[in-house]
A and B are shown apart, each in its own frame.
Chain A
Amino acid sequence: MKFADFITTKAIRAELKAQTKEGVIEELVQALLDSGDVDADQREDIIASIMKREELGSTGIGRGVAVPHTKHPSVQKLVGTVGVSEEGVDFESLDGERVQLFFLLISPPERPGDHLRALENISRQLRDETFCRFLKQSKTPVDINQLLQEADDNQFVSG
């Protein structure tokens, strides 16, 4: 699976304004809603269920990366977006580091395989330090999208 298969380009956000965990989640869900990929009337329910998932254990998986996510019956296919925070946000991540890169995912309840393949893609790409660093330095959604496309074209993966 490639980024292009699940990242909504119009919902990509550079220079996130939010400075809290919940704020980032709200900002990115709103971005997906503005892009038309998420129903406006599902906004609160989706945010609540992503926060509920965080309570089970932070999705801040280290290296300044978090993958907040949930399953939700309102989506027909896996949708996701990317957000970058210049200063980083306290996400109670597993390694205690502030989080700068966010990959927010919403998947249909009956498609666990797609969710796994998205996580696989994200983690494989982020293993490359150059990709990770460039992404954290991105200042615009266009820059971020460019990096995702280069990653999709296997320009970063070392193995």
Chain B
Amino acid sequence: MADLEELYRQVILDHYRAPRHRGTLSGDHIHAEGLNPSCGDEFFLDLQIEDGVVTDIAINGQGCSISQASGSMMTEAILGKGVDEVRQVSGTFKVMMGIEEGDDPIDHERPGSVLGDLEALQGVRKFPVRIKCADLAWTTLDDALTQGE
């Protein structure tokens, strides 16, 4: 089952079972919630932005391995980056997943060089009904960034 192995790569299961930056933030921060009513997946995001830079991040919620791993990987991909760069990462991710149009942004000669662990989520593209799972964290991020404008 090559497709399944591709979908559930070790790195995805690792982020699912040991999510990074799980918790909540105290103090001044943006809070956004992503819900997928058809399947019940929940993703909660706390984001601290100081001088246009993501200085702290915390995630919470529950759902399938794809939605939760995507969120965990997202935290690593955007922490410490400027908001403009965060938007760029988000756009690259969405193109990689086929959610937005564009040329394949991934350098397949050098795996991980463009989006890091997130590149492991490419396998989801073969399972169209699961793409919305991978996207949940990122639509929540969009919401948070809009709030922060």
Q: Do A and B interact with each other, yes or no?
A: no
Which A positions have Cβ atoms within 8 angstroms of B?
A: none
